[in-house]
Structure 1
């Protein structure tokens, strides 16, 4: 058991109204910090009042982007329990990202214990209204003040938390997605399979173009042939074609989403055929024209599940299911959120009660 020092705030913040939460705009009263230096390892775990962090201007995170992060959620159930959804998977994936970015691994059990204590301290920040949750952002930054291009010798592991509403202002309503033609997000062998800041910085141009044209997000194609569907900016993507659900296979340039994996397991449990394979934008367009493209949806911790009502590829608009949420998408949303909020039995063993 890790002994964590706790310093409680003397000035609690005013909590926002549930209908004003948005996503990632407000933060709880406390944060967790763990330090690393090369000759000592990870040390000095502490919960302190939420506050700015002080870094040397030469810290490597600023210059070379040596940083990783995760995203998960805590929920208040209908009978007032607090549940975490698959947190072990998040800390396991964090260490996969650490390895790719040459950051020392964290102790996953200690990280989970720290998170539980932090949530206990700030439990009153977890919103209970339908569709709301406490978003949790663990991240690691390289703090070594040296401009040499090499791995840092010091780091900070930090956890902050934010009460959130729906990721999209549209809520569960179908969103419009623009298929990016010119820019690429990642290639196999790069950092696309890691959850690191640079991946998202590189996606902002596509997001800017999509927003300008009235679309919620960008759908990225592969970086080599510019033909095969990969993922949306904040989500993995699925298509239902002729009764089968298809999602791009993990190829080293796609983030292995935990919600993605959860949805595959739910589909399998419902005996709905699901395939992980390469799927081209041409195949999607052909399915649309022959009437077999039935649904599309994105999955991710932040957005949960987002039905897709329209895809735009070049000059063609692909309208799915008359712009309405599909039957399978609705079932998956209801199943996942039901498990997360405790209204459905968790037959998969995904939730942890605090």
Structure 2
């Protein structure tokens, strides 16, 4: 693979959006990173070019068979005007895990990180500075072979695009209401649940639509076999505080290994809290709720960071937590993690990667 990244800067620059009115994933920066793959060349022609449409034949495999992977991470601006990335090495490591599952050739993780740092440095003026805002980073790989056959592609394109974003939820850090889904499933062991691939998210849309029609923000996914054990909430991992201890579903072959999940577990253990990674049923959670032992619940993910849960709808019962208010652990985790990401808290775990001085 070529190590030199060719850079072509845009001759016209877009107007920066108002950081106070940013939505999630609607506006994109001036440039993007692109690299191609063929079976004869491997990965080649890495380049940073103006953000623009891409031209593909209608027969390109990406439109037909779903052999895609993607990642999501963020760049943050500190009060000292430095630009930080949060654990980007973990994202590229997970991308290669997804590549394995989807039969896509590995990328060089260190080279991908260097490409990302160069891209973000070029686009540093796009990183917003208001509290709660950031520059969302979307790396993704698509098959580009022209072929209507079910087989791994022989050609791919790896791209990174950037989008300045506000808070993922309009409610902000306020607790959200969750609908427990007992019909549709997100993934099963042996499927693609551990990969970050588009098909998983397409499969979630019907249940999400159902939840929203009933006045709920997200879906709580149960396992795909018994429809009994808790897996994820929306596109996030989930945690519960039950009788003073933290419980989160163990990685089981159908749950995505979240970078934020991993960070949260390390923080909680650092604070001396007991964390159990184990199989937990919705009935277990319901019984803890009835016994007054369900103290908090929250989702974790790159986009929302921490999303406190104020209510579950389960078996026609509205389970209201903490009087619908944000719990103490949820708030402390949110403040600490976002503080590390933006440079206001000490980075004891060496999670932050500096892009600019």
Q: Same fold (TM over 0.5)?
A: yes
2:291 corresponds to which residue? 290
1:182 corresponds to which residue? 183
2:309 corresponds to which residue? 308
User: Contact 1:188 / 1:251 at 8 angstroms: preserved in 2?
Assistant: yes
Q: Deviations over 1:135-193 (max 9, x none)?
A: 00000001111011100000000000000001011000001111111100100010000
User: Contact 1:181 / 1:314 at 8 angstroms: preserved in 2?
Assistant: no
**Aligned pairs for 1:143-162 within 5 A:** 143-162=144-163
Shift of residue 218 of structure 1? 0.6
Q: Distance in 2 between matches of 1:81 and 1:207?
A: 38
1:19 corresponds to which residue? 20
Q: Deviations over 1:47-69 (max 9, x none)?
A: 11111111111111111000000
Q: Distance in 1 between matches of 2:251 and 2:283?
A: 20
Q: Distance in 2 between matches of 1:153 and 1:31?
A: 23
Q: Distance in 2 between matches of 1:294 and 1:232?
A: 17
RMSD, aligned CA: 0.7
Task: Give the TM-score normalised by structure 2.
Answer: 0.98
**Aligned pairs for 1:252-291 within 5 A:** 252-291=253-292
Shift of residue 314 of structure 1? 2.5
Tell me whether 16-25 or 296-305 shows the greater mean CA deviation. Answer: 16-25
1:136 corresponds to which residue? 137
User: Contact 1:58 / 1:145 at 8 angstroms: preserved in 2?
Assistant: yes
Q: Distance in 2 between matches of 1:2 and 1:170?
A: 44
2:74 corresponds to which residue? 73
User: Contact 2:36 / 2:45 at 8 angstroms: preserved in 1?
Assistant: yes
**Aligned pairs for 1:1-354 within 5 A:** 2-354=3-355
Q: Distance in 2 between matches of 1:147 and 1:251?
A: 34
Partner SS for 1:64: coil
Shift of residue 232 of structure 1? 1.3
Partner SS for 1:275: strand
Partner SS for 1:310: strand
Partner SS for 1:11: coil
Gap runs ≥5 in structure 2: none
Q: Distance in 1 between matches of 2:100 and 2:128?
A: 34
User: Contact 2:188 / 2:253 at 8 angstroms: preserved in 1?
Assistant: yes
- Post-superposition, which runs of at least 4 consecutive aligned residues in structure 1 deviate over 6 A? none
User: Contact 1:200 / 1:233 at 8 angstroms: preserved in 2?
Assistant: no
Gap runs ≥5 in structure 1: none
Q: Deviations over 1:308-347 (max 9, x none)?
A: 0011112111101110000111111111001000001100
Tell me whether 63-72 or 16-25 shows the greater mean CA deviation. Answer: 16-25
Aligned residues: 354
Shift of residue 253 of structure 1? 0.3
Partner SS for 1:312: strand
User: Contact 2:20 / 2:130 at 8 angstroms: preserved in 1?
Assistant: no
Partner SS for 1:97: helix
User: Contact 2:137 / 2:163 at 8 angstroms: preserved in 1?
Assistant: yes
Q: Deviations over 1:198-234 (max 9, x none)?
A: 0000000111011111111111000000000000122
Q: Distance in 2 between matches of 1:252 and 1:78?
A: 40
Q: Deviations over 1:223-252 (max 9, x none)?
A: 000000000122100000000010000001
Q: Distance in 2 between matches of 1:19 and 1:209?
A: 31
Q: Distance in 2 between matches of 1:252 and 1:141?
A: 24
Q: Distance in 2 between matches of 1:7 and 1:214?
A: 47
